[in-house]
């Protein structure tokens, strides 16, 4: 005959209290009397059946779970970078508080991908992704501002009257020295390094730079807290029921 406890949801031990029944010790999850061995789950007394069920249903860390978490986190970081840069470019307002949303988004995505599993390596990855998303967003923002300034300068220049060339002999073209241009890969790497350093480069304006770093640190803290994962059950035992009276 199957154990009725196995058809129940995952045993909960975080808020369960000891039974005050005079009928003896009972499991904090299923409330059934404990007659042989028992365990303690987060200091609560539990029967062997509930502990076995809990161990089967607790999420287990694995390489596949970590890879899923990183893929989801990377996608969220790219999305956060696009939203950060897009909002700044479209509105013209640079709002550092978007860093908080990016940290929350990355943390939630990592946990979603890992299916609730967290831990130190997930936290470190979420911190790196959050920082990268926020800092690299400075690259498209700077490119957009430079393109806008160049367009405005060209527009002003085109409206200025051009000097007449009548009666003037054409001047021979001046020899131009060929400047060496960096390769596409080198230029891209330079942009990436500048972007990653952008939160600290903003310290050229101390007040604005410090405020931006503090907000970024809070966003990173969001990602760190979220990816610590759900509280893990602390299972001790088994113990013999004869020792319950002395605990």
Per-residue pLDDT of the chain (247 residues; tens, 9 = 90+): 444 444 455 555 554 444 444 456 788 878 888 777 888 887 788 887 888 787 777 767 789 999 999 999 999 999 999 999 999 888 887 788 899 999 999 999 999 999 888 889 999 999 999 999 999 998 888 888 777 777 767 776 666 665 555 545 445 455 554 456 667 778 778 878 888 888 888 888 888 889 989 999 999 999 999 998 765 667 777 887 765 444 4
78 and 47 part of one domain:
no
Is 171 within a domain?
no
Is 159 within a domain?
no
22 and 117 part of one domain:
no
| Number of domains into which the chain is organized | 2
**Which pTM was predicted?**
0.66
211 and 121 part of one domain:
yes
67 and 37 part of one domain:
no
17 and 119 part of one domain:
no
- For residue 27, give every residue at least 6 positions away whose Cβ sits within 8 Å of its Cβ, in sequence order, or none: 34, 38, 45, 46, 47, 50
50 and 84 part of one domain:
no
106 and 78 part of one domain:
yes
What per-residue confidence (pLDDT) applies to 242? 64
Domain coverage including residue 15? 4-58+232-246
Is 181 within a domain?
no
* DSSP track, 136-192: HTHHHHHHHHHHHHHHHHHHHHHHSPPPP-TT-PPPPPPP-PPPPPPPHHHHHHHHH
130 and 197 part of one domain:
yes
Token output for 17: 């209290």
123 and 202 part of one domain:
yes
What per-residue confidence (pLDDT) applies to 181? 67
What per-residue confidence (pLDDT) applies to 3? 46
121 and 80 part of one domain:
yes
201 and 119 part of one domain:
yes
């Amino acid at each position: 005959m199957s154990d009725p406890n196995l058809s129940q949801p995952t045993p909960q031990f975080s808020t369960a209290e000891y039974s005050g029944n005079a009928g003896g010790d009972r499991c904090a999850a299923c409330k059934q009397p404990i007659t042989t061995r028992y365990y303690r789950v987060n200091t609560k007394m539990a029967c062997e059946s509930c502990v076995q069920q809990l161990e089967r249903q607790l999420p287990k860390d694995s390489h596949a779970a970590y890879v899923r978490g990183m893929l989801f986190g990377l996608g969220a970081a790219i999305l956060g970078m696009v939203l950060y840069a897009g909002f700044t470019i479209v509105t013209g307002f640079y709002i550092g508080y978007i860093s908080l949303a990016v940290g929350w988004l990355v943390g939630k995505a990592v946990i979603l991908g890992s299916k609730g599993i967290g831990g130190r390596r997930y936290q470190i990855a979420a911190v790196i992704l959050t920082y990268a998303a926020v800092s690299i967003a400075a690259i498209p923002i700077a490119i957009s501002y430079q393109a806008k300034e160049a367009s405005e300068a060209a527009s002003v220049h085109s409206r200025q009257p051009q000097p007449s060339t009548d009666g003037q002999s054409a001047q021979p073209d001046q020899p131009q020295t060929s400047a060496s241009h960096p390769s596409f890969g080198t230029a891209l790497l330079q942009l990436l390094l500048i972007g990653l350093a952008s939160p600290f480069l903003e310290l050229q304006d101390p007040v604005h730079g410090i405020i931006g770093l503090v907000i970024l640190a809070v966003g990173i803290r969001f990602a760190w807290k979220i990816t610590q994962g759900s509280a893990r059950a602390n299972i001790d035992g088994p113990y013999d029921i004869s020792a319950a009276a002395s605990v």
